[in-house]
Chains A and B, each alone.
Chain A
Amino acid sequence: MSRLKNRLPFIIYLLIVIVILGFLSLLMGPIRISASKILFSIFSPGEDPLIYVIIWQIRMPRLLLEILSGTLLAMSGSLLLGISGAAMIDNIAVKSFYLLSCVIAAISVFLIVFGFNLESLYPWLLGSLAQTTWDKVFIAALFILAGLIVYVFYYKDLNALMFGEYTAKTLGVEVKLIRMFLFAVTIIISAAAVYTCGLLCLTGLIFPYFVRLAAGVNYKYMIPVSILTSASIVILIDIFSRIIFPTELPIGIMMAVLSGPFYIYALHRRRLGL
């Protein structure tokens, strides 16, 4: 298909972005490790046991979890888009959730600045990438696999839905059932996303909404593009917050804060009738 030829450069570009961001992520941390040593450790792991532990037991799982979180968010965000279309933003539940996330994020920042210890809250609510284990990575990967399988078998239905309820129905798609099924899948994948990066991370579900503006809603391409974009965003947010804040700021807070403008812009578009 010649269409793939058009898309390929974009996808390759995104892959490059991820590799660069990933590398930057590996560079960051309390112990300084030079770039060359990192590369060395990746290609011949056994050499330096200390560096090995840092890279492979701490930073790499963290990076992988970031990628996986982004992937999970992208998958459930795209599914949500497929089920509800552009109207995804209008849902009162979505609006309330964002509002609540902003409030929680604001309060948390306040508390952290004043030295309160929120350690126990971190994982569930705000998400923590600090103590990542390979177990977590493994579980996340399982959910992603399940999600990908759903996509491979349902992308046709999703594409049909994009053309409108009546077109989908006349093509033989059982719209009601498919929507319910995909909604259930969305919930499961979102739960996995919460597991990996906390409740507030669900604010990241909005990113595929914007990916569709750039790449269109053809699910054949939207999935890889969404995944790569969301994963990049998560890594970026993490790098960003590690640079700015000396103490570990939970990823959920940054996600809620940074997705705010996107959300407002999306609402603005809806007002205009898009």
Chain B
Amino acid sequence: MAYAISFNRINYPIKVKDASGCILEQNQPPARIITIDPAITEILFSLNLRDKIVAVGEKCDYPEDAKKIEKVGKDRFDLKKVVELKPDLIIVNLDTQRSDMEKLRLIMLPPVSAEAQPTPLQVFAVDPHSLRDIYNTISVIGTITNKEHSAYSLLQRMKRRVEWVEARSKKEKRLKAVVVIKKRPLTVASEGTYFHDLLAASSLIDVSPRGKGMYPGMKRDEISKADPDVIITSTDVAKNPKDIYNNRDFRKTSAGKNKKAVSIDAEVFLRPGPRVVDALEEIAAYTYGWPASSGKAVPTGRQGEEN
């Protein structure tokens, strides 16, 4: 009876515009979903769509179960395999999979019988950059998979955790921070990215250069002038925080002198999905010396040595 009364209302047929400006039309909820983007995979799992995913990408390793699903590519789609699997929905990241998206939009699935006719592949593009984009992506994926209520609950939980960090960090002394995305050439995250939003949520002042795009480069003199108190990066850039605060560019800054840097697990930090909240909590906990906080069992990144 519970399943009958479930609040994931069916409101089909639907027409939803995606990030590329094209329209997805569906008459019923998708039952065969493919995506090779790890963040999208995590979102699908969070919405309880495990049984509807027929294939993922080789980089999709979270949660554990995702590793067991058939793979159809790493950074690019194996188009032949995709067609063979006859998906009724493919979710792509507009930024990283644009050319594949265009190709997928041309493909007509072969007919299932002599009578049936080819049908176009349904492709849906998302393009999450900021934290709000991530919320919208989760929401829209909920809409196109008939899990609107699950998406809403997930977002409520995420927002609550973000608000908790915001409230607590507001009481702390204001510190300056920067998020390092790449070591050589030195690239940081700036306005428009969710990294910037996470800094804001932890009441940290983002000292990245403005007006130079979402991922500007930063020169040594700019860094010295900005003088961050904390450096945040991912394990992709520095397996150990030592590698970043001892780095020539950062050595002379407050962060370098106090050895204050945290390197968050790339698989958590670099995916615009539900786990960005985990990263946020880790950033705040490390920066302000809070105990391992709200709900998350073990921090997944490595933390700088205490001074």
- Find out whether A and B make contact in their complex, taking CB atoms under 8 A apart as touching: yes
Contact A87 B12, CB 8 Å, known A273-B28, A273-B29: yes
How big is the A interface, by class?
10 to 19
Q: How far is the CA of A136 from the CA of B27 in the complex (A)?
A: 44
- B10 part of interface (Cβ distance < 8 Å): yes
1/0 per position for B21-34, CB-CB distance to A under 8 A?
00000011101000
Q: What 1/0 mask marks residues of chain B from 1 to 35 whose CB sits below 8 Å from any chain A CB?
A: 10111010111100000000000000111010000
A270 to B29, CA, bound (A): 10
Q: What is the distance, in angstroms, from A205's C-beta to the closest C-beta of chain B?
A: 17
Contact status B9-A270, CB under 8 Å = no
What is the size, in residues, of chain B's interface with A at 8 Å between Cβ atoms? 13
Given known pairs A90-B10, A270-B10, the reply for A99 and B5 (CB within 8 Å) is: yes
Q: Is A87 within 8 A of B10, CB to CB?
A: yes
Contact assessment for A95 and B5 in the assembled complex, using a CB-CB cutoff below 8 Å: yes
Residues of A within 8 Å of B12, CB to CB, are 87
A99–B27 CA distance with the chains assembled, in angstroms: 27
**Interface residue from A87, A264, A273 paired with B4 (Cβ < 8 Å):** A264
- In the bound complex, residues from chain B placing their C-beta under 8 Å from that of A95 are 4-5
Nearest A residue to B1 via CB reads A264
A92 in complex: contacting residue of B3, B4, B9, B28, CB < 8 Å: B9
Bound complex: CA A157 to CA B27 (Å): 22
**Chain B contacts for A99, CB-based, 8 A:** 5
Q: Which of A237-274 contact B (CB under 8 A)?
A: 264, 267, 270-271, 273
Q: Closest B-chain residue to A89, C-beta based?
A: B10
Are A90 and B11 interface neighbours, CB within 8 A?
yes
Closest 6 CB pairs of A and B: A273-B28, A90-B10, A267-B4, A95-B5, A270-B10, A90-B9
Interface residues of B (CB under 8 A from A): 1, 3-5, 7, 9-12, 27-29, 31
Question: Contacts A90-B11, A92-B9, A271-B3 given; 9 further ones with Cβ under 8 A?
Answer: A87-B12, A90-B9, A92-B7, A95-B4, A95-B5, A264-B4, A270-B10, A273-B27, A273-B31
